[in-house]
Chain A
Amino acid sequence: MLVTSEKPTSVGTRRAISALPWVTTVSRLVLAGVLIAAGWQKIGTPVLSVQAVEAYELLPESLAKVVGYGLPILEIVVGVLLVVGLLTRVAGMISMLLMLAFVIGIASAWARGLRIDCGCFGGGGQLKAGAEPDYLLTILRDAGLFALGVVVAWFPPGRLALDSALGLTPGREVYDAEGDEEEPHVKENR
């Protein structure tokens, strides 16, 4: 990883590279904030959260129950992992998959002409009387969050991450894949 000097160098590219860790950090925090808020508002009423899942009419009842009970706590835990930067890449991938699933679910509800509340931040999936579903906005929001998930999963955990503190990301080889640690350095003395 590049040593970030106190005064940013004038070279544009270098500045961009040294800003990258902060980009991932901010992505992590934004994604985490949304996940934790969403999970927190649902976890108190898992029964309603099951209702919201059933409102999509995509999953059989038993599976809807599992998702309804499991999703809020999963969102919170993944959110916390993202905040502290632990198992960051896995957490990023899970967030990606979650957002992808949400986009698919909402798009399919839209396509089938269902009129439901997304239930994203609690509630039983029923629209309030007279309310119109705003599918497009929800899809755009989740697509944006998906993109943040990609950033988190793709790049190293960035600043303020437990992963780095615990040495879970090998300092110098951050851009290396996990498996190929055998070859580098061997011939460096020649």
Chain B
Amino acid sequence: MGKAARDQSVRDRIKAQREEERRRERLRRIVTIVAAAVVTFGVIGAGWWFAAQGSKPEESTGALAPISVAADGSVVMARPGVNKPVLEVYEDFQCPACRALEETSGSTIKNLATEGKAKVVYHPITIFPEDMNKGVTRGNSLRAGAAARCIPGGAPWSRFHDQLFRKQPAENTPGFSLEDLVAWGRDAGVTDPGFERCVTGQEKAQAHLAASARVLDQAKLKGTPTLKLDGKEVDNEVAFRPAELRQEVVDAAK
């Protein structure tokens, strides 16, 4: 074998060795990358599941604690003799985040009252200013809020309340028409013959605005929705997680 040939074979061997090394290295990289990607997707999936679980609404029992309208226009839902803890709900029928709270924790709030674990006080208010969306948003909110005040409590009030959130219009389109409001009231079980006139005449509009101004001033709200437990604001992280909200209310009763 000539020197050239020997050199050539050595070179070939080195080349093959290098090739092999490179292949192994490549495989190792691929395995590592795939493993990292799988773990990443796993964590994303777990986080997703966790988020979805945490905001799953409770089953509504269907039964409701007695509902009455207090002198200041707020609506109290509590079993007789249950005076604490007090869970206050500040909401605007036109506010999308309030609808989200209703959908998420609304059943929990009702259940807590039904079980006698809390005295629930609703403060339906109008929070939107006149200059927003040329007054459309405020108009929607005001019609709905005034109509709700035409119902003197009871289960119909709660059903009407729920229906308003279910039918909430977009913030920039006129909705909550007076005819609809009357019809929804009837569907909710309002039998008072004066209800229609009260809604179409917007008889409670002034009272609603006055109450809104007073509540906004007194409660020092940062926005709606706001939940307060015995006067202390409940964090959104709790308010929008039914299980945690329940726990917090139960703890406050101790």
Contact = CB atoms under 8 A, between A and B. Distances in A.
Interface of A: 43-48, 50-51, 54-55, 57, 69-70, 72-74, 76-77, 81, 86-87, 115, 122, 124-126, 128-130, 166-168, 170, 181, 185-186, 189
Nearest to B236: A45
What are the nearest 7 A-B pairs in CB distance? A73-B47, A124-B97, A44-B237, A46-B51, A45-B240, A47-B100, A45-B236
Given A51-B96, A129-B129, A186-B15, A43 B36 contact: no
Contacts of A185: 18
B171 to A, nearest CB: 9
A126 B31 CA distance: 45
B122 to A, nearest CB: 19
B104 A47 contact: yes
Interface residues of B, number: 40
Interface stretch (B22-30, B59-67, B174-182): B22-30
27 contacts: A43-B51, A44-B236, A46-B51, A47-B55, A48-B100, A48-B240, A51-B97, A57-B170, A73-B43, A74-B44, A77-B40, A77-B43, A81-B40, A87-B37, A87-B40, A115-B132, A125-B96, A125-B97, A126-B95, A129-B127, A129-B223, A166-B32, A167-B32, A168-B32, A170-B25, A186-B15, A189-B11
Given A46-B55, A87-B33, A70 B100 contact: no
Contacts of B11: 189
A181 B11 CA distance: 19
Contacts, number: 90
Contacts of B28: 167
A167 B29 contact: yes
A81 B40 CA distance: 9
B4 to A, nearest CB: 13
B47 A43 contact: yes
A43 B18 CA distance: 49
B5 interface: no
